[in-house]
């Protein structure tokens, strides 16, 4: 199975924390969308495997008209072998949700809605720069729940400035009371060149202490486990049958094709990324200029990526898939984290414990191999 990611690079307004590629200007929208369709055509021979997932992300795909969304799905089915039961996800913002739009999306083949809720509090939404209000957040969830999609999910952010454990508990209670089958919960991080980074640098916003963020993550795991959700990836919780197939494929190293400005692709050996500039991307198809860069990953890079992504999942990193024997080269690191109760060796996998999930990136980094670590492969 392979996947297709379609990046829609337009938003109504900029969020305080976001470092994804987007534009709040719709100037050149038609040219960009046309170029994206051309990219699908020109790259249709790159994936021969059946397509199991299509993901429209961004940006804000729900800004598109239903017929514009439909055009990408129809084209994907024309140029690729899309499985009949493929998961087709559309990212949407609460202010774009209406009964008519939901019905149209379902009719044209969307099977899963990913709702950018982020918070149910008015003050937080204003600080984040979100285009929706608290009422729209709740109303949109109710509409999606009644629309009959195969699955749907909401996003929430914790670790916000001055956020208390009580506030986070309140957010989780509201989400669970509204019956979502999947939750993506992200700890706020300060990304360079964002409004949040400027606020922190100027002392306008103060990030919470690590202990506070850690306590909120613990409460998240506790509440979701009690409610019957699988914690199948560090930031993702789903009821059985509602795990994101598209994102799971990323973590398992499945090949995928990325379409649109800034979109990334991966074929198992090579990673490719498109220019993160709408005008340059669109112009390239008129002038036949190259609009992407790429690199062939080394065995060390592939091993490290398998460790980084695998350890984030409940399934863990499959040891025999590591091209370089990272366990042998870092046996003291493995022993340290197994002894401390942060890491398990189970059924041929490296798996983080609940305590270890707090340090997923750190543990993976300590297990990384270098270009000099060639020797015997696992």
List the CATH number of the domain containing 320.
1.10.10
Q: Tell whether the model's pLDDT for residue 96 goes beyond 80.
A: yes
Phi, psi dihedrals of residue 29, rounded to the nearest 5°: -55, -45
Residues 191 and 318 in one domain: no
pLDDT at position 377, please?
43
Task: Check whether residue 23 and residue 146 sit in a common domain.
Answer: yes
Mean of all residue pLDDT scores within the chain: 95
Tell me the CATH number at 169: 3.20.20.70
State the total domains in the chain: 2
Q: Are residues 315 and 240 in the same domain?
A: no
Packing angle of the helix pair 29-42, 278-287 (nearest 10 deg): 60
Is residue 275 within 8 Å of residue 292, measured between CB atoms? yes
For residues 310 and 229, membership in a common domain is answered with no
Edge-to-edge strands, sheet with 51-58: 230-233, 236-238, 182-187, 151-158, 112-118, 82-92, 51-58, 2-8, 256-259, 264-266, 270-274, 292-296
- Rounded to two decimals, the pTM is 0.95
Query: Does residue 292 sit within a domain?
Result: no
Token representation of residue 260:
């649109």
- Give a yes or no: residue 317 inside a domain: yes
Q: Of the candidates 250, 277, 309, which is a domain's last residue?
A: 250
pLDDT reported for residue 193: 85
Same domain, 225 and 334: no
Domain extent for 245:
2-250
**Angle in degrees, CA 296, 300, 305, rounded to 5:** 80
Q: pLDDT of 136-180, one tens digit each?
A: 999 999 999 999 999 999 999 999 999 999 999 999 999 999 999
User: Domain for residue 195, yes or no?
Assistant: yes
Which of 210, 235, 250 is the last residue in one of the domains? 250
- The residue-averaged pLDDT of 58-74 equals 96
Instruction: Please state the φ and ψ torsions of residue 113, each to the nearest 5 degrees.
Output: -110, 130
- Are 242 and 310 members of one domain? no
First to last CA, the chain: 24
Does residue 293 sit within a domain? no
Q: How far apart are CA 54 and CA 72, in angstroms?
A: 10
Structure tokens at 281: 């991307």
- Whole-angstrom Cα distance, residue 57 to residue 295? 23
10 and 76, same domain (yes or no): yes
311, part of any domain = yes
| Residue 257: inside a domain | no
Residues 227 and 351 in one domain: no
Cα dihedral across residues 241, 247, 250, 255: positive or negative: positive
Tell me, rounded to whole angstroms, the distance of Cα 269 from its chain centroid.
Answer: 21
Structural domain contains residue 158: yes
């Amino acid at each position: 199975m392979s996947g297709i990611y379609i990046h829609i690079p337009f938003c109504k307004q900029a969020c305080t924390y976001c470092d994804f590629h987007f534009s709040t200007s719709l100037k050149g929208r038609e040219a960009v969308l046309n170029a994206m369709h051309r990219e699908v055509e020109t790259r249709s021979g790159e994936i021969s495997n059946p397509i199991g997932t299509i993901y429209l992300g961004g940006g804000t795909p729900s800004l598109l008209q239903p017929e514009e969304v439909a055009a990408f799905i129809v084209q994907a089915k024309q140029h690729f072998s899309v499985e009949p039961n493929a998961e087709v996800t559309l990212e949407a913002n609460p202010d774009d949700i209406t009964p008519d739009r939901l019905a149209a999306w379902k009719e044209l083949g969307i099977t899963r809605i990913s709702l950018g809720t982020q918070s149910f509090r008015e003050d937080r939404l204003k600080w984040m720069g979100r285009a929706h209000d608290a009422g729209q957040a709740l109303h949109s969830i109710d509409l999606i729940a009644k629309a009959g999609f195969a699955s749907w999910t909401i996003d929430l952010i914790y670790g916000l400035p001055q956020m208390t454990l009580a506030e986070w508990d309140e957010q989780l209670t509201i989400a669970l009371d509204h019956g979502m089958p999947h939750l993506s919960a992200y700890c706020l991080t300060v990304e360079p060149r964002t409004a949040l980074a400027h606020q922190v640098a100027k002392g306008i916003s103060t990030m919470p202490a690590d202990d506070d963020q850690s306590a909120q993550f613990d409460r998240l795991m506790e509440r979701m486990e009690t409610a019957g959700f699988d914690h199948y990836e560090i930031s993702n919780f789903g009821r059985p049958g509602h795990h994101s197939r598209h994102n799971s494929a990323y973590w398992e190293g499945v090949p995928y094709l990325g379409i649109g400005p800034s979109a990334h692709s991966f074929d198992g050996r090579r990673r490719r990324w498109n220019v993160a500039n709408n005008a340059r991307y669109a112009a390239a198809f008129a002038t036949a200029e190259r609009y992407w860069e790429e690199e062939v990953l080394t065995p060390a890079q592939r091993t490290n990526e398998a460790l980084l992504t695998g350890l984030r999942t409940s399934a863990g990193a499959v040891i025999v898939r590591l091209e370089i024997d990272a366990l042998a080269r870092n046996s003291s690191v493995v022993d340290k984290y197994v002894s401390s109760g942060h890491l398990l060796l189970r059924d041929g996998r490296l798996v983080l414990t609940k305590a270890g999930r707090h340090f997923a990136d750190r543990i993976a980094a300590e297990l990384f191999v270098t270009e000099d670590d060639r020797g015997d492969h696992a």
